[in-house]
Structure 1
Amino acid sequence: MSIWTDKQGRRHVGLMVQGRRVHRILPEGATASDAKQLEADLRKQLTRRPGQYSDPLLVEVMPLYMEHAKHSKWTSVAEIAAQRIAPWLEGFRASQVREVAANIIRDMKSAYAPATINRSLATLKKALTLAWELGMTEVNYGAAVKALPPNNKREVFLTPAQVQHLASHCTESVQAAIWIALYTGARRGEILAMQPEDVSKHTLTIHAQNTKTKRSRVIPIVKPLRPWLKYLPLPYKNFEGLKTGFQRGRKAAGMEHVNFHDLRHSAASLLVASGADLYTVAKILGHSNIQTTTRYAHLQVKQQREAMKRAFG
């Protein structure tokens, strides 16, 4: 089947031509005619005469990604990640991508976190994969783009008092995002996707299509969270709006070292401090693997050590 509709109602187009498999997801609201037109365009591109475009310039390849990003849930974020590396692509061809990637990493390391660099490298990798799928290159040069090892050892755990201080310097909508993050452990994207209908009398539902793991989860609503849920949906079209408001607030609060994601870590640390086991923390945060949650195990050990000191001196 080359055209189908998934459970969320989004249309898909999938083709296999000359050993190349191409899969595209159309944006929400796309019609059957849109899908058929995309199928025809893809088939035309896939049957392009071999060798016609053997080694295109990278600046000729990146528009493929920009078109692909239009179908992303967070289009503006994807486009920004791609635009960030544009200066390094000038004059280089697809076959030179290994050198280009090395230059990007070398020059960006001092200014950006590994995760940010990796997001930009991923756009280049995807663009080259798309070029290969469409027959523009004889090999998939995207395979040569390797990500930096992520730095997942960041540990900034805020106390409720510190969160209160930070929130007091933010606008009401940013405050709502901050407290929702602390009282649910939800990621920023999950919070931005929340709607009033996701809130019931006792629980808050985070739907699968809005989660990193593509799994729904239901979170009990604690009393201090309830007042902030009236702000849903938050008035931001994308990550950047909330990011800008949060940055202003943390600067005004003298807490520029704090990232929004630290609120999720803080939620986990407070849960562990309250006596929650790691399995429960994993369920609340939506970790697909308990190994991810073990990063908080040392907090549990600290709590146990203090309990033993109280008991045995």
Structure 2
Amino acid sequence: MPIETITKAGRRRYRWTFERVIEGSRVRKTKLLPAGISAQEADELARKWERELYVLVSGLIRPAVTIGDCVLAHVSDKHMRWKDATKRIQTLEKWKSEYSEQDALDLHEWSRRFAGYLRANRDHSGQPKRPLTDGAIRNVMAYLRAAIKYAHKIGRLEVDQTARMVIPAVNNERHHYPQRREMLEIARACGDREVRAAIRIAFYSGMRRGEIMRARVTRNGYSLADTKNGRPRIIPIHPRIAVLARRVRFTVKVKRFETEWIKARETAGHPETNFHDLRHGAASEMINAGIDLFTVGGVLGHKSVVSTKRYSHLATDRLADAVGRIGQRGPEARK
């Protein structure tokens, strides 16, 4: 059986090499077998591949499109449009050996095994590895799903089987709504002028960190030409940050920003507070002041009211007041 043992990245691996003359044509193909399999499993897999190749070259079946083929096409055609291109390509490359030879039309069992492997704390050879959280696993699977869908869109795949993928469900929704006092305590503990300004701006505008860094100050407010939902928006400037809007220009690097934020929140006694929580605090303040959810969603830049509904439980006082008015007649009816 054409199996040889090689060393790749310091680990023993099996490689299958096929070289035959079939139907008058010389056929040569090489594949690296999955890590961690035994010699017997390698031989069985090699025999399976050899049978499939004989049938394929004889013209009896169409070649299978692998997930690796889908990823290659997706990256080649679309990577210039991705904001997260570097991160996405690095992630896809890291797990390439796990999906490159997988049939893109046989996804259910493979995706279940793949998610289990990503979650495991040992690799195929039994060496310790860092397990991924369900959120990180979902991101990896989402990249692969997008590639498979793209292959179907451009005609490389006859059917889209991504609905059969087993992808972990993740609930990252946080329910911490910092009040003004907490925000001020963290801001006062911050030693960096720009980060301190960003803390106040986040609370009084509901903007995300990246939006604060790139927002342009205009007569109408903070102007964002490029937002998460793909639509430009204007956020009016609260009087309490008007001076900051005029005087502060952000040049701080993301790494330093994170370092200064973590230091400030711990010094202030709020180690579990995320910077993004300040955005939730802004929403909470508006709702508690009687602003309707639709308007709050407009300030936050939500494309759909579904995103804003996460704050609906904060409006319980007004809901109770509304229910209490049922059956009451207006002034004209009581006359």
TM-score w.r.t. structure 2 length? 0.59
2:70 paired with 1:54: no
Structure 2 residue 314 is the aligned partner of structure 1 residue 293 = no
Pick one of 101, 107, 118 that aligns with 1:97. Answer: 107
- For the pair 1:69 / 2:87, whether they are aligned, the reply is no
**C-alpha distance in 2, partners of 1:79/1:260?**
27
Q: CA deviation at 1:65?
A: 4.1
Unaligned stretches of 5+ in structure 1? 1-50, 307-313
Q: Deviations over 1:101-157 (max 9, x none)?
A: 32444444985354x443322211122233344554444344443654442642011
Counterpart in the other structure of 2:128: none
RMSD: 3.7
Structure 2: 5+ residue runs without aligned partners?
1-60, 121-130, 322-335
Q: Which residue matches 2:278?
A: 263
- Contact 2:111/2:167, CA 8 A, preserved across alignment: no
* Letter matched to residue 192 of structure 2: T
Residue deviations 1:139-195 (CA, integer Å, cap 9, x gap): 43444436544426420111222223334346333334333322211234433432x
Shift, 1:247, TM fit: 4.8
CA contact (8 A) 1:121 1:147 kept: yes
After TM superposition, list the pairs within 5 Å mapping 1:165-180 onto structure 2: 165-167=185-187, 168-169=189-190, 171-180=192-201
Q: Which residue of 1 aligns with 2:184?
A: 164
Contact 1:88–1:103 (8 Å) recurs in 2: no
Question: Partner of 1:118: helix, strand, or coil?
Answer: helix
Asked if the contact 1:84/1:120 (under 8 Å) is kept, the reply is no
Name the residue aligned to 1:205.
223
In 1, the alpha carbon distance for the partners of 2:63 and 2:248 equals 52
Inter-partner Cα distance in structure 2 for 1:169 and 1:303: 36
Matches within 5 A, 1:61-210: 61-67=70-76, 68-79=78-89, 82=92, 85-86=95-96, 88-89=98-99, 92-106=102-116, 107-108=118-119, 111-112=132-133, 114=135, 116-145=136-165, 147-151=167-171, 153-167=173-187, 168-169=189-190, 171-194=192-215, 198-207=216-225, 210=226
Measure the CA separation in 1 of the matches of 2:191 and 2:71. Answer: 37
Question: Structure 1 residues 88 and 190, CA, compared in 2 at 3 Å: closer, same or farther?
Answer: farther
User: Is this contact kept in 2: 1:81–1:119, CA < 8 A?
Assistant: no
What percent identity do the matched residue pairs reach? Answer: 26
Name whichever of 254-263 and 264-273 sits farther off: 254-263
Structure index of larger Rg: 2
Q: Where do 1:223-302 residues align within 5 Å? A: 223-229=239-245, 230-236=247-253, 246-247=261-262, 249-250=264-265, 255-302=270-317
Structure 1 position 249, deviation (Å): 5.0
- The number of residue pairs the alignment matches comes to 247
Output the TM-score relative to the length of structure 1.
0.62
Write the distance in 2 (CA, Å) between the matches of 1:255 and 1:76: 33
Flag the structure with more relative contact order, 1 or 2, with Cα contacts below 8 A and sequence separation at least 6: 1
Distance 1:129 1:183, change over 3 A: same
**Stretch moving more, 117-126 or 159-168:** 159-168
Indicate how the Cα distance of structure 1 residues 85 and 164 shifts in structure 2: closer, same or farther if over 3 A, else same.
farther
Matched, 1:218 2:234: yes
Cα distance between partner residues in 2 of 1:262 and 1:96:
41
- With over 3 angstroms needed to count, the CA separation of the structure-2 counterparts of 1:83 and 1:176, relative to structure 1, is farther
